[in-house]
Amino acid sequence: MSGLRWGILATGSISRMFAADLRTAGLDLRAVGSRSVEGAIAFARDFDIANAHGSYEALAADPGVDIIYVGTPHPMHLENAELALRGGKHVIVEKPFTLNRSEAETLRDLAAERGLVVTEAMWTRYLPHMVRIREIIASGALGEIRGVFADHTQKLPDDPAHRINALELGGGALLDLGIYPISFAWDILGAPESIKATARFGETGADTEVATVMQHPSGAISTTLSSSRAVGPSTASIVGTKGRIDIDGAFYTATSFRHISSDRTVIETYSSAYDGRGMQFQALAAEQRAAAGDLAGDVLPIDETVAIMGALDDIRAQIGLRYPTETL
């Protein structure tokens, strides 16, 4: 443990999951901030947190907090993370990092100016099964990687008032679901040289399905499919000339995989086994970076997060999607 003291900004379901995993890992959870005193007190009671703040401003100003997790909806990430950074706190921002690349650059530059860590909460990157997968790839056991395939498909509410369908909240399949397989493809193959995208839209104008085909510098091709209206396997595969890795659903959670040779022999079967949901691993990594003064990061460098937001901008331009809160 680095001794860093955590604060949670916002008290919704994702913040509750994050707080639970902080407790699982034995990290030092000191404070929570909500838009209401009542909400903060209830959250603090549930997670045995000493300090409950009735505003985000009060949390950002709390001298007993070193690092803040931002769990608000996408359009609020810029404002809330800026508030925390200006309060002198390291920040981990729930995915997607921001609404667009311009906002991501603002947070990156402000953090660098203040000497603080700001990072995206892409928890998949830090899960033990992904650590093992990167080891297998680095060993050359898969040969030349030729393709990466991943889907993230869920049947979420089709109520027009639900957040997933609300454009003013950044709703839609791309930012909520597509961020996972797209970030996964970058993790394995690096930044793409070209992106082609297509989409389907719902009644509110939010995207309900998005598919991408990306070509990467090695020549490898990745494909992704995301849907908020239908349940698919949510699996992923990495295919090389010597073998492949098949990751079970949901590939972005604590799951299992098989390393299979080109003659279809199963070389290794991996199953995840640890306490909690797995969000604690990104928290531990953020602590280590903050304690070491590592502003760039290696598992998910902040410049890569910014570039991924730029790729999502490109995809949105291709499919004709714009959020009403954007100031581009």
- In the set 89, 95, 196, 242, the catalytic residue is 95
Q: How many CA atoms lie within 13 A of 207 on its CB side?
A: 28
Rg, C-alpha atoms of the chain: 20
- Establish whether 196 is a catalytic residue: no
The CA distance from 131 to 183, in Å, is 15
Do the Cβ atoms of 128 and 281 come closer than 8 Å? yes
What is the SS3 assignment for the chain? Answer: CCCCEEEEECCCHHHHHHHHHHHHCCCEEEEEECCCHHHHHHHHHHHCCCEEECCHHHHHCCCCCCEEEECCCHHHHHHHHHHHHHCCCEEEEECCCCCCHHHHHHHHHHHHHHCCCEEEECHHHHCHHHHHHHHHHHHCCCCCEEEEEEEEECECCCCCCCHHHCHHHCCCHHHHHHHHHHHHHHHHHCCCCEEEEEEEECCCCCEEEEEEEEECCCCCEEEEEEECECCCCCCEEEEECCEEEEECCCCCCCCEEEEEECCCCEEEEEECCCCCCCCHHHHHHHHHHHHHCCCCCCCCCHHHHHHHHHHHHHHHHHHCCCCCCCCC
Tell the residue number behind the tokens 């930012």, with chain if given. Answer: 175
Do the Cβ atoms of 257 and 236 come closer than 8 Å? no
The CA distance from 81 to 295, in Å, is 15
Q: Give the residue numbers marked as catalytic.
A: 95
